[in-house]
Amino acid sequence: MSASNAPDEATTAPASDDAWLDAIAWDANGLVPAIAQEKDTGDILMLAWMNREALRQTAQKGQAVYYSRSRGKLWHKGEESGHFQTVHAIRTDCDNDVILLTITQHGHQPSIACHTGRHSCFYQRLENSASPAPQWQAAEPVLKDPQRIYKP
């Protein structure tokens, strides 16, 4: 490119460091749902929430950081349980209103992502859906007693 075709640096504004965060369609509370999907199995392990700082820290650390709505603070997954999540990819959907994390779940093997001691938070399956009284049934076993994961 010749000097005459080069963009004028004085008139070309640099992209905002937060432009990637600004692209997210945050809800009225400044949150976005985040799905954690296990890289090797494709299993959906959990859904949590992120605010701007949680997403920023996740990108910087390469480990999942969420926002706990019940505690009103950032939550580095695994800080209490030891079940950390290494993040391999961060994606957003077509509306930029859902985050998808491709992760490797660490800690107890087989991996535990759920606070109930199960592999996935999505362990309940609707049974007898055509009957007058469908019921939710646990479809995955408890791998480790939550009392042993979260010591008081």
> Residues annotated in the binding site for Zn(2+), as ranges?
94, 114, 121
Rounded Cα distance, 124 and 146, in Å: 17
Rounded Cα distance, 8 and 1, in Å: 13
Instruction: Pick out the residues of the known binding site for Mg(2+).
Output: 93, 95, 97
Instruction: Pick out the residues of the known binding site.
Output: 93-95, 97, 114, 121
Per DSSP, the three-state class of 35 is strand
Q: Computed over its alpha carbons, how large is the radius of gyration of the chain?
A: 20
Q: Among all chains, which residue has been given the structure tokens 């700082």?
A: 53
106's CB contacts (< 8 A; 6+ apart) are: 78, 82, 83, 84, 85, 86
